[in-house]
Amino acid sequence: MKTAESIPVSPTPLLPLEPDVLSAGICRGRTRRVCRLLLSVTVLFLGEVPLAAQEPGIAVPAGFRVGQFSDDDLAHDIQCLTFDNDGRVVVSGPGYIRILIDDDGDGKAESFRRFADGPKTGAQGMCFMGPHLLCSGDDGLIIYHDEDRNGQADGPPQTVLKIKAGGEHHVHSVQKGPDGWWYVIAGNMSEVTASYAALPTSPVMQPDAGVLMRLKPDLSGGEIVADGFRNAYDFAFTPTGDLFTYDSDGERDVSLPWYRPTRVFHVTPGSNAGWVSRSWKRPDDFPDMPSVVAEFGRGSPTGVVCYRHLQFPGRFIGTLFVLDWTFGRILGVSLEEARGFWKGQPFVFAKGTGQFGFAPTDLEVAPDGSLYVSVGGRGTRGGVYRVRSIRSPPVVLPPAESAVGSRAQLQMCLQSPQPLASWSRRRWEPLAESLGSEPFVRAALNERQPAPERVRAIE
């Protein structure tokens, strides 16, 4: 484990681009040929240098520790990571979905259980519906059923939404939102047309480029919530119910006046992020442009999560963590609401160091409050890393059965960490159903109730 106190942890202004980021856009003519020659020599030289893969070369802030949960032997080229209803790590790459098993509880997986031999393309988004898995891959949005609840899919998946899948700019993350609808994000090559706006209530009827879609709880039809993204891979809901995503830049335009960096957007219904095509971007001052809360320069956005747990220090609660695959970084955005708008303070939370290959693809918060990050993509080494606070122990959540009485059950529903995660829903959803709507209406109307709990009551 390496600690780098030089990485700002508290909210700071945007860090300046490093020289290697800038150089990606300024090689021209003869200079470009020299750059290619130097790159070739460097690659040949590095081919003879042994990499210290047994220890993760990931710099984290003081007060945190990073450890390797699994390596390439258990799962190669991981594209996506989630937790199942039981709180177990589940990963996917080309041709597999696997549950990683840590039998002795030492924080390292020793084996895996095969959930499915697919999708062929690998899943780029996964969300458990009880024992069943909804994911993106192969023919589009698909469900693997596990009726006997043995931790293995019963057979081939059922396709619920045909959409281009498997490519880097196709359909990606799928999540169950706070309203009980299913949210799906897709890149600019997924070919989403007006036919996907099946409901007359759809905020967008004629979509451009990448989109955020919303499907009914039974997956029978839906809306296009927002469009104009280039290739946003993932998204997250905050405690206020707001949705944020991290969109790609136009790398071919680097150093040109109209270059757009990777950006974190506050997505609102009907908003258009401005990407129409490679050579056509709408101006940022259009009235339906979503708010930009952070910019991170060059990069390849992948996973996004909002930290809504208790293990990390309090200043991280509500923080957006976003991943940059290209430069091996876990980035953070501290959010602050001001007059109905969100402002973000971006910072670097963690990054790969030296010659260590750190290509993060996805991240999720575990039941104990640790942050799990997968690596892989484009046939590279797979692995999962666990980032935890060393200043507080891992959180042990009480079982739902420990909440005795309606008041205790209500508080468990309103205060459950990561309430939208599958493992968290397993705790509070049965309690909410047994309580009925009346206690939640009272909580939502109670002005003495903390604002996040009032929002949860509405959800």
Can you give the pLDDT at residue 1? 42
Tens digit of pLDDT at every position of the chain (459 positions)? 434 333 344 333 333 334 433 333 333 344 444 444 444 434 333 333 333 333 469 999 999 999 999 999 999 999 999 999 999 999 999 999 999 999 999 999 999 999 999 999 999 999 999 999 999 999 999 999 999 999 999 999 999 999 999 999 999 999 999 999 999 999 999 999 999 999 999 999 999 999 999 999 999 899 999 999 999 999 999 999 999 999 999 888 888 888 899 999 999 999 999 998 877 888 889 999 999 999 999 999 999 999 999 999 999 999 999 999 999 999 999 999 988 889 999 999 999 998 888 999 999 999 999 999 999 999 999 999 999 999 999 999 999 999 999 999 999 999 999 999 999 999 999 999 999 999 999 999 999 999 999 999 999
Kindly give the pairing relationship between strand 2-3 and strand 58-60.
parallel
Residue 119, preceding bond cis, omega within 30 degrees?
A: yes
Interatomic CA distance for residues 185 and 173, integer angstroms: 6
Can you give the pLDDT at residue 356? 84
Non-local CB neighbours of 360 within 8 Å, separated by 6+ positions = 302, 303, 323, 324, 325, 328, 329, 330, 373, 374, 375
- The answer to whether the beta carbons of residues 91 and 122 sit under 8 Å apart is no
**How would you label 158-176 residue by residue, b for 16+ Cβ within 10 Å and e otherwise?**
eebbebbbbeebbbbbbbb
Interatomic CA distance for residues 37 and 47, integer angstroms: 16
Interatomic CA distance for residues 168 and 233, integer angstroms: 9
Considering the entire predicted model, what is its pTM? 0.88
Non-local CB neighbours of 335 within 8 Å, separated by 6+ positions = 238, 244, 293, 318, 319, 320, 342, 343, 344
Interatomic CA distance for residues 327 and 22, integer angstroms: 12
Can you give the pLDDT at residue 20? 37
- Domain spans of the chain? 60-389, 400-458
- The answer to whether the beta carbons of residues 76 and 381 sit under 8 Å apart is yes
- The answer to whether the beta carbons of residues 88 and 31 sit under 8 Å apart is no
Task: Fold for 60-389, please state it.
Answer: Neuraminidase (2.120.10)
What Cα–Cα distance (Å) separates residue 375 from each residue in 42, 69, 198, 297, 298?
23, 11, 36, 21, 19
Can you give the pLDDT at residue 202? 98
Can you give the pLDDT at residue 334? 98
β-sheet bridge partners, residue 413:
none
The 10 Å Cβ neighbour count of residue 29 is 7
Cα 92–Cα 76–Cα 188 angle in degrees, nearest 5: 50
β-sheet bridge partners, residue 65:
388
Can you give the pLDDT at residue 56? 62
Token pair 């101006």 is found at: 283
Token pair 């700002």 is found at: 8
The tokens describing 428, both together, are 């509070």
- The answer to whether the beta carbons of residues 269 and 225 sit under 8 Å apart is yes
Interatomic CA distance for residues 131 and 423, integer angstroms: 11
